[in-house]
Structure 1
Amino acid sequence: MPQEIARTYNCGLLYPAPNAINVESISSKSKPVEVLFVLDGTWKKANKIALLNPWLNNLNKITFSQRPENNYSIRKAEQSYSLSTLEACAYFLACYENLQIEPLHHLLAGMIHEQTKFMPDDVKKRYLSEDN
C-alpha cells in the first residue's frame, strides 16, 4: 500500500541524507510534496525501517537546515539535536504549511507530564529539570 502511494503521488521522506531538500527552502505553494512519509521510532529503529524498505530510497528526502530545540525531555537519544517524531512533524508543518504549531507543543508537554506521573522520583529527576 505505501509503495502504491509513493508511485501515485509526489512523496517525500522526512529523513536526513546528504542530498536531502531543506524544508526551509520549499513551500506548499509550489506543492513539491503531496504525501510525507515519517519513520516513527528511535534512530536505530528508523534506520532499520529504511533499510528493510528499499523503495523509500526512491523518495525525495526532506531535512532541516535549522533544527528547532528539542523539548522531548524524557527521550533517550544520545544526540542533543534529535527530535521526537511529533517535534519533527510540527517543524515541517510550520515551515511547509506555515501553520501555528503551539498546540502540538502543548500536546507534547502534556504527554511528557502524563508519562512522568508514573516514573519513580529518582528516574523522573534524570529526565526533568526544575523548570518542567
Structure 2
Amino acid sequence: MRAHVEQDEAGRRQARDACFEPCAIERGMRIIGGKWTGSILWHLKDGPVRFNDLARMIGGASKKMITERLRHLEAQGLISREVLETSPVSVQYEVTDLGRTALDCLDALRAWSESLPDRPAVPSR
C-alpha cells in the first residue's frame, strides 16, 4: 500500500494511509544496504573468493563483521558458501544467480559515486 501525502491547513505535508510493510527501496536496503554488504558482493563478482582473501580485500572491516555480513547474504540467497577440504580447512564464497541481479544496482551506485565532485567523505552514523 502506498502512502498518500496531503497538506494540512498550515501547509505541512502529512502522510495518510501510511505503509505498514517496507516499500521496495527500504526492502532492498535491508538486503544489500548494510555496512560492508555491497563491498562484499562487489568483491565476489568475479568468482569464488576464500574468506581470508576477502577479508584482505575489504580493508577496515573486522573479520567478525565480514562473517556477519556473509551469513546475512547467504541467508538471503545472494551468495553461496563452500567448505574446501584443504589443510587447514578453508571456506570460499561465491555470488549466486540471485546475487548477480544485485550487481547492476551496485554498478550504478559505483558509477554515480564516481561522477560526484570530490568532497571529503562524511562519516556514517
TM-score bracket, normalised by the shorter chain, equals under 0.3
Q: Which structure shows the bigger proportion of residues in strand conformation?
A: 2
The higher-RCO structure (CA 8 Å, 6+ apart) is 1
What's the TM-score once normalised by structure 2's chain length?
0.25
Structure number, greater radius of gyration = 2
What's the TM-score once normalised by structure 1's chain length?
0.24
